[in-house]
Structure 1
Amino acid sequence: MKIVYIARSIIPSRTANSINVMKMCNTFASLGHDVTLLAPWTKKLEEKGIDNIFEYYGVEENFTLKKVFSPSIKYLKKRIYSLRCLFIVKNIQPDIVYGRDDMFAFYLTQRSDFYTVFEKHEPYHGNDFNDYFFDKFIHYKNDTKMIVNSNELRKMYHNSCAIPLDNILAANNGTNIIPDNQIPEALTKDETRIQVGYVGSLFKGRGIDIIIELARSLPDFDFHIIGGKDKDLDFWKAKVNFSNLIFHGFVQPKETYKYRNMCDILLAPYQSDNEGNRSSKYMSPIKLYEYMSSKKVIICSNFKVVYEALNDDCAVLVDSSDIKAWREALLGLASNKDKRELLAQKAYENFLEHYTWKSRAQKIINFLDNKDD
């Protein structure tokens, strides 16, 4: 099957959405499909010093990446980018136009009679440019299908937009199977101390303040924070100076598994506040599946959507803002190696069955193959 994937992700960059897009294109191609990814040409915003984009993301070069001109003029960039994507789609004549982020492009390809499928990772607001064209797109035909990345988001689109549940597939994010015996060459693991890790962004809503408080109160544990933009790293480093709190900075996506392998316990302290309520309610973070693939025990905030991937049989789930609960969870796992290994193994088995990129891509292809039913 010939697939054109349209995205507005900055590639290469440090963003989770760019990882999702590159991994999905790679996996669709590995399943035997002819895949072309269209992404904006945005040289000023791209990660610098990357010689090979595919290597940077740790994916095989088994699909075509085309950069499409996207001007920096605010009110024109989406329209011009979308029209250029449509021109390329008409030249390729794919079986499916697929992707995320740029609703106007999918509106145009659908109106040009290409079978078009849109993937949404954010809730519907109903009051912006993308949602205006989404309404037109999703109700253009009775059998228009869409992909979301959590069951909570699937229910939200069904209730808010009157989309039949049969037309919405919930396909949680995923990750790849990784080597579990490699750690960063420059680091030596201190086997006498519990190593606690967090991989991800450092902005508001990620729970970095929880990790800092844990590091302050547990000086016999080492805390590793992997990731973050330079400005966020500078902000947090200026606030704390604990010898047991190590900021490793940004690590290329293909290398992060080595840092997870180094840890005994992995943290996902997602927070919910007035700004983050909607996103935390519907999220499906790649980080959770990467944690599960690492065969390391996970302590995570107990948001309802998290239970789609984790439960009390394969992780320790605690109230997001209860620092005492986080501390007790860490102490309990630190003193019980058997429990750590049991929970980690169950999470790994769950990952293998449901949350690889391959299983996600195949689930989507199976859903789309029923387009004529």
Structure 2
Amino acid sequence: MKIAYISRSIIPSRTANSIHVMKMCNAFASLGHEVILLAPWTKKLEEKNVSDIFEYYGVEKNFELKKVFSPNIKYLKKRIYSYRCLNIVKKINPDIVYGRDDMFAFYLTQKSGYFTLFEKHEPYNEKGVNNFFFDKFMKNNVNNLKLVVNSNELRKMYNNSCNISLNSILAANNATNKIPNENISTNINIDNTKIQIGYVGSLFKGRGIDIIIQLAQKIPNAIFHIIGGKQKDIDYWKDKNKLSNIIFHGFVEPKETYKYRNMCDILLAPYQSDEEGNRSSKYMSPIKLYEYMSSKKAIVCSNFKVVYEALNDECALLVDSSDITAWENAVNELISNKEKREKLALNAYEKFIKYHTWKARAKKIIDSIDQSKSNNI
């Protein structure tokens, strides 16, 4: 099939949504579909000094990326972008229009007669402008499959808040790809006599960086690696602690993060609750968890209900998000028990390979679309 994927992600950039979009287009194309990705042309916001966008994201150049001019006109730029996307879609004449973020564009393509499917990563907000068009989109949607979300918890939320049948909502958890079997990046020196503990991701509120700092204080013989974050956030956390066993590596290109994960013995995901600053803790589907699983390393993670869609007690140690004693006990248990580390890591890896690759996610979506189309005939 020919798929037009519409997104408002800044490409290239450091954002998780841009990674998600590029990986999904790559996965759809790997299944044999012709994919054209539409993304805004916004030079001022794009990551600098990127000579090859596909190489930057670590994906095969098996789909087309079309940059769509998005003028910096207050109140109008999103609408102009959406209409420009519609005009390009009419020229492409795809079998499917798919994507996320730009609800108005999908409302327009559906209204123009294209089979349009939208993906949501956040709950319904009655006051949101996008959800005004989401309501209109749903009202006019005659397909059996009406919406894709990235977690079962979010699927339940849309069933309750918008009265959309559960059978019409596909839950497709986020994913990642298999990675090279490399143990360490050539430019990182580590002390192999000590346990290496890692965290990859943002450093803003709700990500549990304070938990990692407390762990480093309580477990001085381990080395803690924090990979990612904006410089201002790194400076903030550095100012709050002067520990010699914490290393801030800063931003690493998406294609390179696996090297930093692979050099660690234990990987941490100390997500915090809504009350602690993480607004998405009830419905999230973090790519980070699947990346951790793909590295075949032991994982300690917050035990939110939604986390069990990726992990379980057979492939990770899941603990109360804010209980520092529980975190300390879990990390120390893994430090002292190499056999348990390896068993949890293997179980997580096998679960990842079976269910959580980008290609598996893309196939799940395409199969659901095919089923929906056949039911509508």
The two structures have a TM-score, normalised by structure 2, of: 0.97
Aligned pair count reads: 373
Cα displacement string for residues 29-54 of structure 1 (whole angstroms, at most 9, x for unaligned residues): 11100000000011111111100000
User: 1:17-36 deviations in whole A, cap 9, x for unaligned?
Assistant: 00000000011011100000
Q: Is 1:57 aligned with 2:50?
A: no
Q: Is the 8 A contact 1:38 1:65 kept in 2?
A: yes
State the match for 1:108 in structure 2. Answer: 108
1:123–1:278: 8 Å Cα contact kept in structure 2? no
CA–CA distance in structure 2, aligned partners of residues 111 and 190 of structure 1? 60
How do residues 109-188 of structure 1 correspond to structure 2 at under 5 angstroms?
109-143=109-143, 145-188=146-189
Counterpart for residue 285 of structure 2: 284
- Tell me how far 1:277 sits from its aligned partner: 5.5
Structure 1 residues 139 and 277, CA gap change in structure 2 (3 angstroms): farther
Alignment deviations for residues 75-121 of structure 1 (CA, whole Å, 9 cap, x no partner) = 10110000000000000000000000000000000000000000000
Cα distance in 2 for partners of 1:200, 1:321 equals 18
Q: Is 1:323 paired with 2:324?
A: yes
Q: 1:336, 1:181 → 2: CA distance?
A: 23
State the partner residue of 1:85.
85
| Aligned equivalents of 1:264, 1:11: Cα separation in 2 | 32
Which amino acid is 1:149 matched to? N
Counterpart Cα distance in 1 of 2:278 and 2:231 = 26
Q: Shift of residue 347 of structure 1?
A: 0.5
Match of 2:106, as an amino acid?
F
SS of the residue 1:370 aligns to: helix
**Using the alignment, how far apart are the partners of 2:24 and 2:307 within structure 1?**
22
Aligned-pair Cα RMSD in Å: 1.0
Query: Counterpart of 1:295 in structure 2: which amino acid?
Result: K
What displacement does 1:333 show? 0.6
1:210 equivalent in alignment to 2:207: no
8 Å CA contact retained: 1:297, 1:340:
yes
Please state if 1:37 is matched with 2:37: yes
Residue 47 of structure 2 corresponds to 47
Q: Secondary structure at the match of 2:123?
A: coil
Q: Provide runs of 4+ in structure 1 moved above 4 Å.
A: 275-278
Distance 2:192 2:169 in 1: 47
Structure-1 separation of matches of 2:208 and 2:278:
14
* Mapped partners of 1:351, 1:102: distance in 2: 30
Q: Are 1:200 and 2:198 counterparts?
A: no
1:236 deviates by 1.1
**Secondary structure class of the residue paired with 1:172:** coil
- Larger deviation, residues 86-95 vs 271-280: 271-280
Aligned partners of 2:269 and 2:301 also within 8 Å: yes
Counterpart CA distance in 2 for 1:339 and 1:371 is 44
TM-score (norm 1): 0.98
Amino acid at match of 1:91: K
CA distance in 1, matches of 2:102, 2:165: 23
Structure 2, gaps ≥5 residues long: none
Tell me the secondary structure at the aligned position of residue 196 of structure 1: strand
- Residue 276 of structure 1, CA deviation: 4.2
Q: Contact 1:38 / 1:66 at 8 angstroms: preserved in 2? A: yes
Give how far 1:278 is off: 4.3
- What amino acid sits opposite 1:179 in the alignment? P
1:289-304 map, 5 Å: 289-304=290-305
SS across alignment from 1:329: helix
> Aligned partners of 2:299, 2:369: CA distance in 1, in Å?
34
| CA drift at 1:146 | 1.1
Residue 32 of structure 1 aligns to a residue in which SS?
coil
Cross-structure match for 2:231: 230
Identity over aligned residues, as a percent?
A: 72
